Amino acid sequence: MEVDAAIVGAGPAGCAAAIRLAQAGASVVLFRRMEAFGPKPGEVISSLARETLSELGLLQSFDTLGFPVLAGSISAWDEHLPTSRDGIVDPYGFGAIVDRHRFEDWLIASARQMGVSIQCSGRNLDVKPDRKGWRIETSDRETAVISPVVVEATGRSSGLLGKGRRVGTDSLVAILQYGRQDDVADQRMLVEASAHGWWYAVPLPDNKAVIAFLTDADLLKKSAGSQRVFVEDELARTSLLREFSAQLISRDYVCGYPANSSIRECINGSTWVAIGDAAATYDPLSGQGISTALAKGASIGRLLASGDKLSACLDAYADAERQSFSAHLQTQRATYSRAAPRFNSPFWTRRTVLDSSH
């Protein structure tokens, strides 16, 4: 199969890129990997995503999925009393709380409807330079694709092209607990700072709920048993989160996920580019991973469809990613600095010390 663009990874970034390119009339193949069963963290979609969904022609269809709206947030962060923000004042409309697997299945189905060819990649893909750009083959040799450009949207995985090395600016990890609630009266997200990290909690579709504790990998104790004690001790010292967790009927722990901020040393070549989390990962505190991944997918789709010189488009994209990452680090430092005076602990002090290398 010869196509105009091959995209590897069918998360929000890869799907948005595929859909935007297909809209412009390009032939596109999207390689997806069947996800392991189990939750995928990241259920809150900021209202900013509505703009990109609208550009992709998907806003109406998204609204018919019937995901609960994000009614707002309550945050106990700095020294002041908890502050609440009503979603009704959001200029883009309400955000949404999604079942992540259902959301991504819908994105993939939308791409297919737009004419994108969806291929299962299995465990590995073989990607080699070819006379016409790249030859991508699945490990079972069932599918071979020739494409002048490869968009790598493989999330936090080590990736396929270029040097996968990332520069991490911290070692944040998330410990997740999924529970059930009897009655969900309040669809707001809670955010709270505590001595060794910070927390978020949100009610999920189907009477489920998630509580996440974000801390540094080295601050977690070594054995699984003592890790749980560490997390429970910390939870006991919170206010909003303790109250929320007390309402849950059950709570199941899920092992930690990396959640640190990082950027790939090499984001692009002259005929390939990494986008979304594959290019740079952002602290979940920003709350915009999914909306940003969608926006970046749409933007690379727009650039590739522009007909401008390919290598110049990819260089410009990578420059913009580096700028957005350094702006993120500044905002991140300012946000953590607001809570830091409340706690005299390594988690907070290391986040307020200036690191001139980034």
Binding flag, residue 259, ligand FAD (CB under 6 A): yes
Q: Which of residues 160-199 bind ligand FAD (CB under 6 A)?
A: 160, 174
- Calculate the CA dihedral of residues 72, 288, 122, 115 and round it to 10 degrees: 90
- Please pick, from the candidates 170, 192, 234, 277, the single residue that binds ligand FAD as defined by CB under 6 A: 277
Q: What is the smallest separation between the CB atom of 245 and ligand FAD, expressed in angstroms?
A: 17
- As measured in angstroms, the least distance from the Cβ of 61 to ligand FAD is 19
Q: Which of residues 193-232 bind ligand FAD (CB under 6 A)?
A: 212
Compute the least distance from the CB of residue 224 to ligand FAD, in Å. Answer: 18
* Element spanning 305, H or E: helix 289-305
Rule CB under 6 A: is residue 9 a binding residue for ligand FAD? yes
50 in contact with ligand FAD (CB under 6 A): no
Name the phi and psi angles at 216, rounded to 5: -90, 145
Q: Which is nearer to ligand FAD, 105 or 308 (CB)?
A: 105
In angstroms, the CA 220 to CA 255 distance is 12
Which of 5, 6, 14, 110 lies at the binding interface for ligand FAD (CB under 6 A)? 14
**Distance of alpha carbon 103 from alpha carbon 109, whole angstroms:** 10
Residue 10 engages ligand FAD in binding (rule: CB under 6 A) = yes
Q: Could you tell me the two tokens for 1?
A: 């199969």
95 forms part of the interface with ligand FAD (CB under 6 A):
no
Cα distance between residue 31 and residue 15, in whole Å: 10
C-alpha distances in Å from residue 70, one per residue of 73, 98, 198, 201, 236: 8, 10, 20, 12, 26
Asked if 256 and 173 count as a contact pair (C-beta separation under 8 A), the reply is: yes
Residues binding ligand FAD (CB under 6 A): 8-14, 31-33, 35, 41-46, 121, 125, 153-155, 157, 160, 174, 212, 257, 259, 276-278, 284, 287-291, 293
